[in-house]
Structure 1
Amino acid sequence: MSASKMFSVLLLVHLLLLAPSSSIEPISTAAFIGVTTAVTSLVTYYTGAKPHFAVFCYMWECCAEGGNYIGLNEDQLEKDLKETLFGQHLVHKIVVKAIKNFVKKPNPSKALALSFHGWSGTGKNFVSNMIVKNLYKQGLNSIFVHYFVATKHFPHADHVQKYKDDLQKWIQGNVSLCQRSLFVFDEMDKMHPGLIDAIKPFLDFHIVLDNVNYRKSIFIFLSNAGGMKINHITMEFWKEGKDRESIRMVDVEPFLQMGAFNEKTSGFWHASLIDKHLVDFFVPFLPLEQRHVRMCINAEIEARRLEFTSSEEKERIIDSVLDEMTYFPHLERIFASMGCKAVSAKLDVHI
């Protein structure tokens, strides 16, 4: 094939690949499955090989096994969690190990499914972004990473069947392009019941489904559901004088699984994903104490490289931000109601 024709093919492929990444609206995905097939066939026809060829991978992000764009930076992920995620020993224990062991398997038995639970501001989105950053060279800009927000992408209860159909086509199209695709479903507690079961075939123990292998994909669910139970358990440990680090997965995970399945307002209500045990880990994010929020403020200051005239001035700023946060129980002021979510905005005011 001539150089000019090769460039034309690459340009067409690049434009077609970029099209769905500009918006993750599942409504417009009916045509995407056809585009995916056309792109794959076109590149295969011109190269006589896989669509992940050297020139394409040099110029644009591709999904080549052992390539430069996808690969877990395990040490950096552990370092990021240690230095920027506070008060979440169970998250530290589960997430790195689950991602590391899954990515290392050449032929996993099923796609990895992680469900993050806890109140707002405890780090669910933060950790999912951290996983993305350390698994994909392009991070959140990777065309193989896909975010769905329940209230934005699935707002209407009377459109659930259409959402389910479009969601299946979207996932099939994207995994056809890259088996190592990652999908994040945010606001699971606001998702219409029954909708998430559309992805059950992709999480099940199928070797191949319609000529597509989904077993290397990763699905992450983010939910506030179960937050009250997590808070109650953490509070009981505090009342009994027990260290929060002594809380184990077995103390929390069964309640999260059962609660998500039985909570009528949750997207997991009576979901076959739970009934068939297709979610691998229900990861609890504990409520943050004042000391953890202090760490968040200090980390934000360091990240911004803010300078102060003295250490006393820095501590005064940190104390001022802490004082403006809301806590529970009201009298004891132990746990931050919003975790670290408001830290950045409140710091803006005081600097």
Structure 2
Amino acid sequence: MWGVALYGFFFMLCCGTIECCWRGASYYHQIEYHQHEHSHQPEQPQKPLEPPKPNYQHEYKPNLDALADAFEDHLFGQPLAYMTVLGAIDGHVTNPNPPKPLVLSLHGPAGTGKNHISRLVVKNLYTNGMESGCVTVKMSTIDYPHHDNISDYKEELVGFIKSKVSECSNHLFIFDEVENTPPGLLDSMRSFLHHHTKVDGVDYRKVIVIFRSNLAAQAIKKHMLESYENGIARKDIKSVDMERLISNEVSGNSDDGFKKARIINSHLVSHFIPFFPLEASHVRQCIQAEFKDRGYESNSLSEDEVLAELQFDGVFSVKGCKNVAEKVSIILFKIKSENRRRNIAIERRIGL
């Protein structure tokens, strides 16, 4: 009996001091096994979190009444552009399910309002105007200067357009100086401009594209001079005649960005819009608007001073209203200087 008790005491003493107990050995073995197994598992690389895609759709806030007012106050001598652009924008914006993107091709001499009308449209469609994430301007001579890189440009443009429309379905693209675009580049946009509900999962039908170009400027000027000499008012010139004239000029020019463009042959341009050369009466309206925007009321004397600083080729202004703002700045400085001298003279007379 005493032997059994002594053996039990010795067994407990051993199990309490060394890892010889079968239960303890089994427990620690399991722990070591799991630790060993865990330490040799390869770490799974964590995928970096993709930043959320920007969404600028909230910046699209069209105000068509304000747009009509802006055209009335700041667009002069362009009856066809006034009616066509305003009507096209109104119809596209108010249609919840347009059949295709709206494509406007603006043509005419420099200074006749192509850039100006684009800014007015953007200002009244997007809360941040030209700074909006829903607006893109591409300059051919800056963005696509090397015609040998046409393949890279096409790939970049396709991806860029898809990305921008994914961020804002009502995106507006402006392509300036289209005549300098590498031939064939615009055709990379063909699938986007067609009557497709979606292309690669993206709906492009609410997009607006504006092409700006001096193409057909000489043909437009010639037509307008003949109309002037024949006593035909510019408001009576038919849109269909001007569209035909511009389309023929664009299609027949072998050196510009529209060369053999399938977007032309496929009739994907919604409207070819002429901008007429401006007469002195239209430039005077530009001068009056510029004075008003600066917070001054003009008069015939100050308007004549500005007109005297501008060049005219017969009946038409050489640069349209392009340099009006700069010339008005000089006249306003003269007015301020004269007022300052007058005030000094008055102060001296009354002894201040």
Could you state the TM-score of these two structures normalised by the residue count of structure 2? 0.78
Identity of aligned residues (%): 39
> Are 2:241 and 1:251 equivalent residues in the alignment?
yes
Query: Does the CA contact (< 8 Å) of 1:160 and 1:192 recur in 2?
Result: yes
Structure 1 residue corresponding to 2:305, chosen from 299, 308, 320:
320
The answer to whether the 8 A contact 1:72-1:100 is kept is no
Which digits, 9 at most, give the CA deviation of each residue in 1:185-244, with x for residues without a partner?
001122121111111111011111111111111100000001111111111111111212
Classify the secondary structure of the residue corresponding to 1:72: coil
Structure 1 CA distance for aligned equivalents of residues 220 and 72 of structure 2: 22
Secondary structure, aligned partner of 2:326: helix
Partner of 1:340: 321
Task: Determine the structure 2 residue equivalent to 1:108.
Answer: 98
Answering whether residue 254 of structure 2 is matched by residue 264 of structure 1, we say yes
Alignment of 1:212-231 (within 5 A): 212-231=202-221
CA distance in 2: counterparts of 1:239 and 1:103, whole angstroms: 39
- Give SS of 1:115's match: strand
Contact 1:193 1:264 in 2 (8 A): no
- 1:116 is paired with a residue whose SS is strand
1:187 matched to 2:177? The reply is yes
The separation in 2 between residues aligned to 1:210 and 1:198, in whole angstroms, is 14
Match of 1:70 among 53, 60, 68: 60
- Is it true that 1:289 corresponds to 2:283 in the alignment? no
How far does residue 166 in structure 1 lie from its aligned partner after superposition?
0.5
SS of residue in 1 equivalent to 2:124:
helix
Q: 1:325 deviation in Å?
A: 1.5
Report the CA distance between 1:326 and its aligned residue: 1.5
1:206 corresponds to 2:196: yes
2:71 is matched with 81
Tell me the amino acid that sits aligned with residue 57 of structure 2. C
SS of aligned partner of 2:278 = coil
> Are 1:321 and 1:350, in contact at CA under 8 Å, matched by a contact in 2?
yes
Query: In the TM superposition, what is the alpha-carbon distance from 1:38 to its structure 2 partner?
Result: 5.6
Q: How far apart in 1 are the matches of 2:307 and 2:159? A: 47
Q: Which residue matches 2:52? A: 39
Tell me if 1:121 matches 2:111: yes
> 4+ residue stretches of structure 1 with deviation over 6 A?
none
> Does the 8 A contact of 1:109 with 1:205 survive in 2?
yes
TM-superposed CA distance for 1:350, in Å, is 2.6
Which of 125, 137, 141 pairs up with 2:131? 141
Unaligned stretches of 5+ in structure 2? Answer: 1-47, 333-352
- Inter-partner Cα distance in structure 1 for 2:289 and 2:135: 27
Amino acid at match of 2:301: R
After superposition, give the CA deviation of every residue in 1:300-345 in whole Å (9 maximum; x if it has no partner): 01100136xxx7xx422211221221212xxxx3110100001111
d(CA) in 1 for partners of 2:331 and 2:69? 29
Matched-pair contact (CA < 8 Å) for 2:60–2:134? no
Tell me how far apart the structure 1 counterparts of residues 108 and 191 of structure 2 sit (CA, whole Å): 27
The one-letter code of the counterpart of 1:341 is K
Structure 2 CA distance for aligned equivalents of residues 265 and 91 of structure 1: 26
Contact 2:112/2:321 (CA < 8 Å) preserved in 1? yes
Q: 1:242 aligns with which of 226, 232, 236?
A: 232
Q: Give the whole-Å Cα distance in 2 for the aligned partners of 1:335 and 1:196.
A: 33
* SS of equivalent residue, structure 1 residue 121: coil
Query: In structure 2, how many angstroms separate the alpha carbons of the residues matched to 1:75 and 1:171?
Result: 29
The answer (yes or no) to whether the contact 2:108–2:214 under 8 Å persists in 1 is yes
AA of the residue aligned to 2:164: N
Partner Cα separation in structure 2 for residue 282 and residue 118 of structure 1: 11
Amino acid at match of 1:214: Y
Structure-2 separation of matches of 1:348 and 1:106: 44
Find the partner of 2:157 among 167, 183, 196: 167
Alpha-carbon distance in structure 2 between the residues aligned to 1:144 and 1:72: 12
3-state DSSP of counterpart to 1:269: coil
C-alpha distance in structure 2 between counterparts of 1:158 and 1:323, whole Å: 45
Deviation, 1:265, is 2.6
Which amino acid is 1:162 matched to? D
Q: Which runs of 5+ in 1 are unaligned?
A: 1-34, 41-50, 53-61
Secondary structure (helix, strand or coil) at the match of 1:219 reads strand
CA contact (8 A) 1:120 1:224 kept: yes
Question: Which AA in structure 1 matches 2:108?
Answer: G
Cα RMSD of the aligned pairs, angstroms, is 1.7
Equivalent-residue separation in structure 2 for 1:272 and 1:306 (angstroms): 49
Contact 2:100 2:193 survives alignment (8 Å): yes
The answer as to whether partners of 2:110 and 2:319 remain within 8 angstroms in 1 is yes
Amino acid at match of 1:316: L
Counterpart CA distance in 2 for 1:163 and 1:217 is 21
TM-score between the two structures when normalised by the length of structure 1: 0.78
Q: Deviations over 1:108-148 (max 9, x none)?
A: 11111000000110000111111111111111111110000
1:91 lines up with 2:104 in the alignment: no
